Copies of this chain bind each other. A is one copy, B any other.
Amino acid sequence: MGLQKFSENEVLNTLTGLFRHHGYDGTSLSLIMKATGLVKASLYHRFRGGKEEMAVTVMDRVAGEFASDLLALLNEPGDPAERLRKTGERLRKFYGSGKKACLLDTLTLNRDSPAVQARAKAALEFWIDSFARFAEDSGGLPRVLAMARAQDAVSALEGGLVISRVSGNRAPFLRAIESLPERLMRPGR
């Protein structure tokens, strides 16, 4: 052929959905075949490193999008409160109001892939750092407090996603988003 049956983006979107909701071990190649419409050999043609390369590629892409589409907003000029509101809105959308799981959680159970593990850790820390920098610069919080507030904000979001997945209740996740201004801008003790 020489012609792609599905675009790189289509395949990666499918892979992202699978890894998000089944984790690394739960995302078998047969599942991937069904979901992508590609046979094993075709998948290995695109990802020579096999399943691990798929996971790493997905992590990198999602982390990149997360940083540029949603965390970058925090550093732009303009009213801080408005930027944070917009960030919350995109967070809600990114996680499907809580219906979509977080790769940082579901993709890090497998201990056998240091590559995935390291990327998840880096992405999580960049997320927290972005929140902390915002709390410092726009919220006027001292550095140490800003970090703690940022950690707790991300923690609330991740916890909300766990509750949502296990019990189907999306309220805690949505409240975690609504609490962002309180967490990152309220003057601190």
Contact = CB atoms under 8 A, between A and B. Distances in A.
Contacts of A128: 167
A158 B151 contact: no
B105 A166 contact: yes
A22 B113 CA distance: 12
A11 B12 CA distance: 41
Interface in A139-160: 148, 151-152, 154-160
A125 to B, nearest CB: 6
A21 B176 CA distance: 26
B148 A171 contact: yes
Task: With a 10 A CB-CB cut-off, give which of A121, A124, A157, A163 has the most chain B CB atoms.
Answer: A163
A31 to B, nearest CB: 11
A162 interface: yes
A167 B22 contact: no
Contact of A109 (B23, B104, B160, B171): B23
B156 A163 contact: no
A156 to B, nearest CB: 6
A157 B166 CA distance: 14
Nearest to A108: B166
A49 interface: no
A148 B160 CA distance: 12
B162 A22 contact: no
A156 B152 contact: yes
B124 A166 contact: yes
A73 B90 CA distance: 41
A176 B155 contact: yes
Nearest to A123: B166
Interface of A: 21-26, 102, 104-106, 108-111, 120-121, 124-125, 128, 148, 151-152, 154-160, 162-163, 165-169, 171-173, 175-176
